[in-house]
Amino acid sequence: MSDKATPVGAVRTAAAPVQHFIRAIVEADLASGKHAAIATRFPPEPNGYLHIGHAKSICLNFGLAEDYGGTCNLRFDDTNPEKESEEYALAIQEDVRWLGFTWNGPVRWASDYFQALYDYAELLIDKGLAYVDDLTADEMREFRGTLTQPGRDSPYRDRSPAENLDLFRRMKAGEFADGARTLRLKIDMASPNINLRDPVIYRIKRAHHIRTGDAWCIYPMYDYTHCISDALECITHSLCTLEFEDHRPLYDWVLDQLPVPSHPRQIEFSRLELQYTVTSKRKLNQLVTQGHVAGWDDPRMPTIHGMRRRGYTPEGIREFARRIGISKSDNVVDMAVLESAVRDDLEARAPRVMAVLDPLKVVLTNFREGVTASRAAPFHPQQAEFGEREVPIARELWIERDDFAEIPPEGWQRLTPGGEVRLRYSYVIRCDQVVKDAAGAVIELRCSIDHDTLGRNPVGRKVKGVIHWVPADAARAIEARLYDRLFTVPEPDGDKTRDFLEFLNPDSLRVVRGWIEPGLPAPEPETRLQFERLGYFCTDRFDHDADGAWVFNRTVGLKDTWSRQGGS
């Protein structure tokens, strides 16, 4: 029954890559001989769990390397020690592997280059291209100017290289308080690009680092670290999101001043914005720390850990990344696109079973032991190799409560008083009596079997409705966690006058107890199944069993799969 045992690779082949402007650049560079092979990198900061936007970047960077026979490095940007942890770093590595990618060589870290970065900073000071500044953060903002007004030179800008070198070495030695001094590049305070107005490249920060401990009390800034790290690793194409487009002149300026072994090309693409969720690490962290979700891997979260726990497949996420493509235009994507990619992948790989999540009892009044027969059913209508199982019928059944209506709406094809339906893989039954409790609620249906309809249509009449069911005496108890979108509006952080938490969906999780057909082997963690007519479900990675009930997370609903499969 487990999808892990099925030869999924034989079921479907990967779709062809979608051409985009970065592929065109790579192909031109390879064709011209500019590069014999490409080298990319994925450079996350280990300050949180990766989300769907990172998945897009992972698929781009690793996918290009894979498609063109190049390499992709995994390099952690660990330059902000106060917010980084080993937990996040290990989770990121797990996510990359789970998505199906392998990085080139060992995991790399920006901290691997701390000494080289420091030495390059001294070289820039010697060349008169960097200086130690005593301005406070507030003063620096005041001197920086605006988008329409040029900045002003710091009064410390004209210190001599010798004085700057002495002060920088004393910064490294820990002689000054945190924030007392910075090292800045000397570029152009009148530049229309604010990123070139003498950016800070080192600050004093006494914080314990996850890899270097307390060896350093000065840490390099991202813009300075990133370009040099790329160059030292001989990256050919440094791919980043559009917010770094204005930083590209700084990227190139730094590398132009230093004797680095290569000069990568930075290329920007639009970041992914997924509707009905948020992808800001700060806001995701807020959801976790304030208890609005159960953790970074809550199945409602857009994190890769969360999507995995919900039952999304790595192939489905990779297909989603392929479908949305790469461009420089806004990339706001409806959640339905992601759900469709996952659903299409699960359609081929998930075995079918029957489960009932809102049970209503049916008593088959003319059930005859030894006469009323059961029937075998395939686990998948198109995948014979998945095998089949016996679906045993019994005198008492569970059906879905919403498959019965005393007063049916127009077009109703399910069970009604006096009406007939077919039990999936079994007989046609007729509802003869409705039993209610003292409050008038329906608690039981008494139905009769047409014993001539097992595997064939009834004579002289047409029965259109088909419903799923499980035998009450042998069904296995399950807990189903029914997940919905975390927010009620497409862009929960789109209104800057309101707190995004105001749009949390109070019904994003509903937990129900139900029943699954008997005779199935105990599923392993992350076993994916289709509950016929209900949706795709996955056994929880960690909570496999709750008080004797198997635990399933609803991954995604069906897309009219039932009507396409037909009747019995």
Provide the annotated active-site residues: 45, 271, 281
Phi, psi of 448 (to 5 degrees): -120, 145
Pick from 343, 294, 285, 342: nearest CA to 314: 342
How many whole angstroms separate alpha carbon 324 and alpha carbon 307? 18
How far from 385 is each of 3, 97, 344, 567, CA to CA, in Å? Answer: 11, 28, 19, 22
Which helix H or strand E contains 252, and what residues bound it? helix 248-257
Extract the runs of DSSP E, i.e. beta strands, from 105-180. Answer: 108-109, 130-133
Q: Taking the CB of residue 533, how many other CB atoms lie within 10 A of it?
A: 19
Buried b / exposed e over 90-125, threshold 16 CB at 10 Å, is ebbbebbeebbbebbeeebbbbbbbeebbebbbebb
Question: Which residue's entry shows tokens 């897309």?
Answer: 559
Q: Tell me the two tokens of residue 531.
A: 């509950």
Residue 563 CA, distance from chain mean position: 30
Q: Are the C-beta atoms of residues 49 and 289 closer than 8 Å to each other?
A: no
Phi, psi of 87 (to 5 degrees): -55, -50
Question: Which residue's entry shows tokens 């079921």?
Answer: 11
How many whole angstroms separate alpha carbon 346 and alpha carbon 488? 26
Pairing of strands 396-400, 359-364: antiparallel
Buried b / exposed e over 281-302, threshold 16 CB at 10 Å, is beebeebbeeeebeebbbbbbb
Burial class (CB in 10 A: 0-12, 13-18, 19+), 188: middle
How many whole angstroms separate alpha carbon 540 and alpha carbon 429? 35
